[in-house]
Amino acid sequence: QKLEDNDVDSSLYYDYKALNISKENANVEQQVESYIRLIYGEVRMGNSTAALEHYKNAHALISDDIHSDNNIILEMYYAAIYAQLGLISKSMKILTETNKLILPTTSKAILMDFHYYLASLYHDLNDLDNCRNHLKKSIEYSREDKKNKRKVFKSYLLLSNTYIEVDSAMFYIKKA
């Protein structure tokens, strides 16, 4: 079950437990995954200080494998921390750099999220053309990953909000 389906406090509690177990077992990959889940939870709770600390810890563990899916996710969440703080240009810079890490082997689910996050930032900057382009890319990747219907819905909904014309907005709302 995904974090967004759970109570964030409970998720954080178990993510901290998982981190401690992965440290006891000296399992670096599980530590990174635990830090990523902790970052996500702390961002949702509005605790950017804790999220940044988890980012630093995770980043130190995976600095050699910069093209890994976990590193790309980590950088997306790093950008989300700054977006939450209202530092959209810093967040955009992080995602622009993260784009250079993406390889043909990067998972479709990560590409879907990446383009959604980028579109959200363009939306915040009122750059609706770039917002639409990245939302359409996110939706395209989602067609290849059928498990993410909720994310597809969010992409279509945000896309509908980029149009003033009722017909265009309704077209994407109906697709959602």
Per residue in 2-26, pLDDT (tens digit) is: 444 457 788 899 999 999 999 999 9
φ, ψ for residue 64 (rounded to 5)?
-80, -25
CB 162 within 8 Å of CB 139: no
CA gap 112, 133 in Å, rounded:
12
CA of residue 144 relative to chain centroid, distance: 18
Contacts 24+ apart (CB under 8 A), 148-151: 148/109, 148/112, 150/4, 151/112, 151/113, 151/116
128 sits in which H/E element: helix 128-143
Tokens describing residue 70: 């976990």
Q: What is the pLDDT of residues 84-121, one digit of tens each?
A: 999 999 999 999 999 999 988 898 889 999 999 999 99
What does DSSP assign to residue 127?
-
Answer with the residue of higher pLDDT: 161 or 15. 15
Q: What is the pLDDT of residues 129-156, one digit of tens each?
A: 999 999 999 988 887 766 777 778 888 8
